[in-house]
Amino acid sequence: MNNFYNQQTIAGKVSLSGTGVHSGKKTSLTIRPAKENHGIKFRRLDLPGTPDIPALFKQVVDTSLATVIGDKGAIVSTIEHLMASFAGLGIDNALVEVDDYEIPIMDGSAREFTRAITNVGLVAQDRPKHLFIVNEPIEIRQADKWVRVEPESCFRISCTIDFNHPLIGLQKIVYDKAENNFEQKICGARTFGFVKDLELLKKFSLGKGGSLDNAIVIDNDKILNKGGLRYPDEFVRHKLLDCLGDFSLLGMPIQGHIITHKSGHHLNHLFIKKFLDEKQAWETGPAKC
């Protein structure tokens, strides 16, 4: 059972390996328990000095195709699905050791990360978990896209997407932390892309590791993956998964209701900057939900 009042780490080490969706390189990672107030950090084992990079907003160096963090020339890319697993499971402290710069895409969702972590178990620690408690709304807009947070008694996130495509269209989902159903409702939703976009990415030497094994691929009028979708609204569920990973870079959970409309990594990143700047709109305090 998750303990959302005290800080948590994992009960033992977890090791996985897979391919980076953009680099096409095989990467291995090991997640290790960490002490109280350590936070989530990534360690590059393949670089001299094995530098650590904290998973925090101020370390974000790119959001164009994935969330990339860096420090003093060392980077770790495509962290959002693993970060979503930590957020969804209520894990505050962990060390992630990697032997290359891109986190493996696995099956395109957070399911394999989440299963590996839950298999080893979680440990409640002796220090209380602290939250950003939202007292006033904060909002950022770019044309028809926006992110907003409002006061709420616990953590809730509402996500809306709207694609001009017959297989997607307008979709909305609400995730409430109090229901404790991240594993059942969110973690298995896969990333998705269109055939035309994947071809363009490969022209620029990106998406080298993308395949039907790790993404939903959409053509003009059909889904190319054998077996189709895992959920009827898998597209918006995955966008919410990405949001969980992005907003976890605040470094502490939010007590509030985040509402996103057609947002992506870049706008989520801009929202976090605005959120941290508007200190009159929130306070920090121990978790009560």
How confident is the model at residue 201, as a pLDDT? 63
How confident is the model at residue 2, as a pLDDT? 52
Q: Which residues of the chain have pLDDT under 70?
A: 1-4, 198-208
Which residue in 22, 257, 265, 269 is the catalytic one? 265
> What is the rounded CA–CA span in Å between residue 242 and residue 85?
10
Per DSSP bridges, beta strands 254-261 and 130-134 are parallel
Binding residues for Zn(2+): 81, 238, 242
Query: Quick one: how far is CA 24 from the chain centroid?
Result: 20
How confident is the model at residue 204, as a pLDDT? 56
- pTM, full prediction: 0.94
Domain with CATH 3.30.230.20 in the chain: 6-128
Known catalytic membership, residue 265:
yes
6-128 CATH pick, 3.40.630.30, 3.40.720.10, 1.10.10.10, 3.30.230.20: 3.30.230.20
Q: Which helix (H) or strand (E) holds 107?
A: none
Helix axes 234-247, 265-277, angle to 10 degrees: 40
The maximal CA–CA distance of the chain, rounded, in angstroms, is 53
The pLDDT tens digits of the residues spanning 219-262 come to 988 999 999 999 999 999 999 999 999 999 999 999 999 999 99
Say yes or no: domain 130-286 is CATH 3.40.309.10.
no
Domain with CATH 3.30.1700.10 in the chain: 130-286
Binding residues: 81, 238, 242
On the 0-12 / 13-18 / 19+ scale of CB atoms within 10 A, 168 is middle
Q: What secondary structure does DSSP assign to 229-253, as a single string?
A: -SSTTHHHHHHHHHHHHHHGGGSS-
Mean pLDDT of the chain: 93
